[in-house]
Structure 1
Amino acid sequence: MFGFFESEETKKVKSHITNLGALAKADGHVDPNEISFIISIGQKHGMSESEVRALLSDSTHVNPQVPSNDLERFDQIYDLVEMMLADGIVDESEMKFCIHMASRLGYSKSIVGVLVNKISMGVKDGYTREFIRQEAQSIFNN
């Protein structure tokens, strides 16, 4: 009801949480580690656990908000990939969803698969978000 008065930043965070929820459901099983991860992302952005859970259970009222800059776009796709890896199993539907979301976030279709794989491998290898972001820049500069 009061969504009209929400800031653009709040709308973006809610959209991101909703996208993460959709990814969690993509393989037909929502793992507790995935829910914990989504809650931690929400809390990082000032949301309570109950607000995140309510948003995930009633996600039909949130309109997707595209990030306004490259850093936000990267952070959102990074979170999606990290979420995909949260349960230790990379399902094909989750990978397709990440690639689809990278495209929706404005990344060129010619690089989305490479970007998702680069982030995935970097996370698995224990590299920091900043290191992976810098490494991903080579994709954009080609």
Structure 2
Amino acid sequence: MKFTEILNLFKQGKSQAHSHIKNLIEIAAADGNFDDVEYKLLQSIAKKHGISESKLKEIQNNPESVEFEVPEKAEDKFGQFYDLVHMMIVDKEIHHEEMKLCNLFGAKFGYDKKRMDELIKTIQGNIENGNSSDDTYKRIAWML
């Protein structure tokens, strides 16, 4: 693999991570209350994706500068959707606007709209039971 191909893969991964962070910020802010527990989860996910605190603030302050991207791999799509559901439930209050956004992102990721509520509830239950994104994906891949 050529260096430019490796560099392009790296840039694509970063832009997908930035898109993911922007989506998480939208979910967290959808209820009009972006609280500490949501911000701590956001920081944790950003760190996992190699996004610095300064870049996180930049995305938060300029969300329009980040384009929405759908990951190509099914596992990556699911991982992002899992994080979005996690952000929606982390404050123990599911607001109507957060649910609406989760449904919208699920549809953009190609998930069946008819099964979206079931998918979200199943992911929620797995999160509440301490199951990771990978474990949850293995359990519910048949639903996708």
Q: What TM-score, normalized by structure 1, do the two folds share? A: 0.88
1:91 aligns with 2:95: yes
Q: Is 2:81–2:106's contact at 8 Å kept on the other side of the alignment?
A: yes
Report the alpha carbon displacement of residue 131 of structure 1 after superposing the two structures with TM.
Answer: 2.5
With 106-115 and 17-26 compared, the bigger mean Cα shift is at: 106-115
2:130 to 123, 126, 129: 126
Q: What SS does structure 2 have at the residue aligned with 1:107?
A: coil
Specify every segment of 5 or more residues in structure 2 that has no aligned partner in the other structure, as ranges.
Answer: 1-7
Q: What SS does structure 1 have at the residue aligned with 2:114?
A: coil
The one-letter code matched in structure 2 to 1:124 is E
CA distance in structure 2 between the partners assigned to 1:66 and 1:126 by the alignment: 26
CA distance in structure 1 between the partners assigned to 2:132 and 2:16 by the alignment: 23
Percent of counterpart pairs with the same letter?
30
2:5 match: none
Q: Deviating runs (4+, > 3 A) in structure 1?
A: none
2:64 match: 60
Summarize the alignment of residues 36-51 of structure 1 with structure 2, pairs less than 5 Å apart: 36-51=40-55
CA distance in structure 2 between the partners assigned to 1:71 and 1:54 by the alignment: 27
Q: What TM-score, normalized by structure 2, do the two folds share? A: 0.87
Q: Is 1:73–1:105's contact at 8 Å kept on the other side of the alignment?
A: yes
1:77 match: 81
Report the alpha carbon displacement of residue 119 of structure 1 after superposing the two structures with TM.
Answer: 0.2
With 106-115 and 77-86 compared, the bigger mean Cα shift is at: 106-115
CA distance in structure 2 between the partners assigned to 1:22 and 1:97 by the alignment: 8
Report the alpha carbon displacement of residue 89 of structure 1 after superposing the two structures with TM.
Answer: 1.2
Report the alpha carbon displacement of residue 104 of structure 1 after superposing the two structures with TM.
Answer: 0.9
Report the alpha carbon displacement of residue 116 of structure 1 after superposing the two structures with TM.
Answer: 1.1
Q: Is 1:39–1:53's contact at 8 Å kept on the other side of the alignment?
A: no
With 84-93 and 22-31 compared, the bigger mean Cα shift is at: 84-93
Report the alpha carbon displacement of residue 91 of structure 1 after superposing the two structures with TM.
Answer: 1.4
1:112 match: 116
Specify every segment of 5 or more residues in structure 1 that has no aligned partner in the other structure, as ranges.
Answer: none
1:10 match: 14
Aligned Cα root-mean-square deviation (Å)? 1.5
What do residues 72-108 of structure 1 show as CA deviations (whole Å, max 9, x unaligned)? 0000000001111111211122112111111111212
Q: Is 2:79–2:134's contact at 8 Å kept on the other side of the alignment?
A: no
